[in-house]
Structure 1
Amino acid sequence: MYTSEKSHTSVKYVTRGVQFIDKLKVFRCLFCGKTFPSLGKINNHVLTHTGQKPHQCEICHKRFTEKGTLRKHLKTMHI
């Protein structure tokens, strides 16, 4: 999923616009500069820049960026 280039202070995840800053133990979005404490959180955030919506409702086929948003949609729209 990721390719990396190692340097002295960081590992850059080039394919997805994510940089891991080892000294701070955070992941930085290369699109907007925001930082996140985990790879999972930065992965969800980067989807907002790429426009990808990998989670789809099986009932109405609407697509969502995050799995939690899909779960909320199912609870509120398809009780």
Structure 2
Amino acid sequence: LKRHKISHVKERAYKCNFCDKSFKCFAYLQSHTQNHTGEKHHNCDMCEKKFKYPALLKKHQQIKHSAERPFRCDLCEKGYFTETDLKVHKMN
């Protein structure tokens, strides 16, 4: 609901100090600013990798640290987390 209310705000009061972009919400500005500063606040607790966004951390943990591999090669039985990775494997 909070995000929906923000979508109706016309004024973009939060301006980036690095470029000409402006935002309706301070959190959006903070997220955008990371593109300029290279900050990565989301750390993997299983390895040393750091990520800008929680979604990227979650995907990393699923792919690198999970045993789940639902897409299996019918020739060698090697498993992959995504169907795209399996397709790349089959092309090579």
TM-score band by shorter chain is 0.5 to 0.7
TM-score normalised according to structure 2 size: 0.52
- Segments of 5+ residues of structure 2 without an aligned counterpart are 1-9, 67-92
Distance 1:73 1:53 in 2: 14
- Equivalence for 1:63: 50
- Equivalence for 2:27: 40
- Equivalence for 1:27: 14
TM-score normalised according to structure 1 size: 0.58
Structure with more of its chain in helix, by fraction = 2
Greater gyration radius: 2
Q: Which runs of 4+ in 1 moved over 4 A?
A: none
Structure with more of its chain in strand, by fraction = 1
| 1:35, distance to aligned residue in structure 2 (A) | 2.1
The number of residues matched between the two structures is 57
Distance 1:26 1:70 in 2: 30
Secondary structure of residue in 2 paired with 1:40 = helix
Alpha-carbon displacement from aligned partner over 1:43-65 (angstroms, at most 9, x marks no partner): 11111211211111111210111
Distance 1:70 1:35 in 2: 26
Distance 2:28 2:51 in 1: 15
Distance 1:24 1:40 in 2: 15
Give the number of the structure with larger relative contact order, counting CA–CA contacts within 8 Å between residues 6 or more apart. 1
